[in-house]
Structure 1
């Protein structure tokens, strides 16, 4: 069962990366709707005021894929804000970024990331990571109640 079909939130500034993720989600038959925020500010607007704007999901996401390096409010700030908020801190956050820097990895886990994955450079490897994310986080994992 795919987390009661709550949306998967992808916080990603790259249209190319988001398009590739969407294609991989479809290949692995993700049933949850996928919602994109193009930067950290938009993600925080949605998460802190979900349901307040037309065309935005009325439920909190089942899972967040969060890029780190974005213009404006970056992924670290988004992660720290989410994990400090009692209404949002149970949402699983997977940092999904190009950085394999040990300092970034350690900082994200310190801020409360549930997982850290580097974005692969080739599409077959991306498909495999997406398959693992869908199978574990949305089908196998027993999440806490959020909302």
Structure 2
């Protein structure tokens, strides 16, 4: 089996469950919000790359791998593929480090009853936050 074929096969495997529309992203956020606080904390505290949105007048965080995969469940597939899919569907660039969002993530985890495992995370910028929040209010 040649190396190129193996690489293409891996990419197909990682992309098969990806969200294919903005509606799928919204569906995944709503599924996430239906989980118990404990379950949401278990998902969020291990995340590295976060999409941010406003839910019930508060800032909420969802890991890239949770929102980008169409099944609405966290995937162990490659994070970079999830990040690229979010960028493509929302027409945004990112994510990047942001101290103010880092503090807000700590507060969010605290409100769920815990704290993040890592200390440095990456977040999508304000344009992405605005787009996701608008999609959720439609």
- Pairwise TM-score range, normalised by the shorter structure: under 0.3
- Higher-Rg structure is 2
Q: TM-score, normalised by structure 2?
A: 0.27
Query: Which structure shows the bigger proportion of residues in helix conformation?
Result: 2
Instruction: Give the TM-score, by structure 1 length.
Output: 0.26
Considering Cα pairs closer than 8 Å and 6+ residues apart, tell me whether 1 or 2 has the greater RCO: 2
